[in-house]
Amino acid sequence: MDDAAREARIARNESRFREINEQLEADLRRLPGDPEMVSFVCECGNRACADLVQMTFEEYEGVRSNSHTFVVVPGHEMPEVEEVVQRTVRFHVVAKVERTQRIVETTDPRP
Ligand SMILES: [Zn+2]
């Protein structure tokens, strides 16, 4: 597989996890009370990854407000397609490098 195809595949995987988290957030928001920490799925490019990241809604919204950024378990970032823009002990926030941005933009569930 060439690099472009590989990058596209990684970007699509990450977009898929983002959709799962969007749904998760919507479901949890309907529950009474606001849980302090929520488990979101890692949005890294590895399709087999099922790890969870603990975040507050506020933190997740901060990541989601930019369609180029994703949340991953620290160490799950893929330096060839993304760069870490925020590091915490619980999660890292990664931003797509320019050439894969178009894919993640067109798959963003939020218009
Ligand atoms: Zn992961």
Q: What's the gap in Å between 41 CA and the centre of ligand 1?
A: 8
Residue 9 and residue 107: Cα distance in Å, rounded?
12
Does residue 92 sit within a domain? Answer: yes
Does residue 111 sit within a domain? Answer: no
pLDDT digits (tens, 9 = 90+) for 23-60: 988 887 777 666 678 899 999 988 899 999 999 988 99
DSSP state of 46: -
Residue 22 and residue 34: Cα distance in Å, rounded?
16
pLDDT digits (tens, 9 = 90+) for 81-103: 899 999 999 999 999 877 767 77
Does residue 31 sit within a domain? Answer: yes
Which residues have their alpha-adjacent CB atom under 5 A from ion ligand 1? 42, 44, 49, 51, 73, 76
Can you give the residue range of the structural domain that contains 96?
3-106
Does residue 32 sit within a domain? Answer: yes
Does residue 51 sit within a domain? Answer: yes
Does residue 70 sit within a domain? Answer: yes
Does residue 58 sit within a domain? Answer: yes
Domain count, the chain: 1
Does residue 97 sit within a domain? Answer: yes
